[in-house]
Amino acid sequence: MDKSLNGRLGVRTITSENRMYIETDESFISKDILEINRVSLYKADSTVSLQFREYTRLKMPGVEYTQKISEISADRIKTDLSGSKRSLISDKSEIFTFDPDLKKYIGTEQLFYKFLKDKVISFKRIIDKPE
Q: Is 15 among the domain residues?
A: yes
Domain that holds residue 111: 8-122
- pLDDT tops 70 at residue 131: no
Q: Decide if 81 contacts 66 (C-beta within 8 A).
A: yes
Domain assignment present for residue 1? The answer is no
User: Which tens digit of pLDDT belongs to each residue from 53-78?
Assistant: 999 999 999 999 999 999 999 999 99
Strand 92-99 with 76-83, pairing: antiparallel
> Is residue 2 situated within a structural domain?
no
Q: Average pLDDT for residues 75-87, to the nearest whole number?
A: 95
User: 74 lies in a domain?
Assistant: yes
pLDDT tens by residue, 95-109: 999 999 999 999 999
Residue 68 lies in a domain: yes
Specify if 127 maps to a domain.
no
Q: Tell me the pTM.
A: 0.88
Instruction: Tell me whether residue 3 is in a domain.
Output: no
Within 10 angstroms of residue 94's Cβ, the number of other Cβ atoms is 19
Order of strands, sheet of 104-107, starting from the edge strand that comes earlier in the sequence: 8-16, 19-30, 34-44, 48-60, 63-72, 76-83, 92-99, 104-107
Query: Total structural domains in the chain?
Result: 1
Query: Cβ–Cβ contacts within 10 Å for residue 39, how many?
Result: 19
Q: What is the pLDDT of residue 75?
A: 95
Distances in whole angstroms, Cα of residue 43 to Cα of each of 4, 29, 78, 105: 17, 27, 16, 11
